[in-house]
Amino acid sequence: MPAYPRPTVALQYAFERVEDFFLRSYPVRDLPLHVRPAMVAAVVVWATLLGVLGFAPLPEIPLNDKALHFFGMGFASFLIYFSFEVPEGPHRRVWYIRRAPLLLTLVFGFLFGGIVSEFVQAMLPFGDIVANLLGATVFLYIAHLLHARARRRSEIADLYQPLPSHSFRDAQGRTHAFAPAAAAGAGGAVAVELDEAQGHDTRDVRDDEWDDELDIEPRENSVFKLDDDIV
């Protein structure tokens, strides 16, 4: 039967492509940070939309004003948090560098976006500040959980990468190389020893035992011959 494409697989593939596009980061010169240009562009677009809704004389929207502030500043904080990334390295030991995305979100999302913007407007009640901070807090927590989950998955994927080595060492310290699958035959993977190149003794133990037995027989015959001569 022909294999029909599954919609879930196509959606998952599309989601992974979009995720890779938005989370692609680039280093910043002289700073231990990476910036995601796609997320920065999304922050600019979303902040522009919030500014238009807050300052432009538009007709009233049939929605709760506090709900708009909650969702608007919350999603802005979500985008700001994912705009920065701290790569792996020794600088992650410094706490304020390791927490740079969180600290920058607190400054730009909470301080400037949630409080300063409302004072600039100077016409809305202070209840909007509470809605801004509450929305920013909730969405920042969600962003932190998603970031921790993505980081954990990335670390697990790095741990389970195949080893680049094509050889191994046995208990005696000898080096062996894995033969190709075609040369292995029905017996499976066969280890090709590199002992000859390293000067190790490649004789089999059973050959040594057979040589000992061969050495014993002439000694026994010679002993009997001496006895016969003496008699």
Q: Does residue 134 sit in helix, strand or coil? A: helix
Higher per-residue confidence, 41 vs 206: 41
Q: What does the pLDDT read at residue 107? A: 80
Q: Is the pLDDT of residue 33 over 50?
A: yes
Q: Is the pLDDT of residue 34 over 80?
A: yes
Q: Considering the domain boundaries, does residue 37 fall inside one?
A: yes
Average pLDDT of the segment spanning 4-27: 80
Q: Is the dihedral of CA 205, 169, 174, 183 positive or negative?
A: positive
Q: What is the DSSP string of 144-213?
A: HHHHHHHHHHHHHHHHTSPP--SEEE-TTS-EEEEPPHHHHGGG---EEE-HHHHT-----HHHHHHHHH
Q: Domain total for the chain?
A: 1
60-82 burial string, b = 16+ CB within 10 Å, else e?
Answer: eeeeeebebbbebbbbbbbbbbb
Is pTM beyond 0.75 here? no
Q: Considering the domain boundaries, does residue 175 fall inside one?
A: no
Q: Could you list the residue range(s) of the whole structural domain that residue 83 is in?
A: 33-160
Q: What does the pLDDT read at residue 29? A: 81
Q: Considering the domain boundaries, does residue 44 fall inside one?
A: yes
Q: Considering the domain boundaries, does residue 212 fall inside one?
A: no
Do 121 and 54 contact (CB within 8 A), yes or no? yes
Q: Which of 40-44, 47-51, 223-227 has the lowest average pLDDT?
A: 223-227
Q: What does the pLDDT read at residue 179? A: 63
Q: What does the pLDDT read at residue 145? A: 83
- How do residues 175-188 score in pLDDT, each as one tens digit? 767 665 544 444 44
Q: What does the pLDDT read at residue 198? A: 52
123-162 burial string, b = 16+ CB within 10 Å, else e?
Answer: eeeeebbebbbbbbbbbbeebeeebeeeeeeeeeeeeeee
Nearest to 147 by CA among 202, 63, 83: 83
Q: Considering the domain boundaries, does residue 176 fall inside one?
A: no
- How do residues 123-177 score in pLDDT, each as one tens digit? 555 556 666 677 777 788 888 888 788 778 777 777 766 655 666 666 666 776 7
- How do residues 56-82 score in pLDDT, each as one tens digit? 665 666 666 777 778 888 888 888 888
Q: Considering the domain boundaries, does residue 72 fall inside one?
A: yes
Confidence tier at 214 by pLDDT (50, 70, 90): very low
Q: Considering the domain boundaries, does residue 211 fall inside one?
A: no
Q: Considering the domain boundaries, does residue 104 fall inside one?
A: yes
Average pLDDT of the segment spanning 205-224: 48
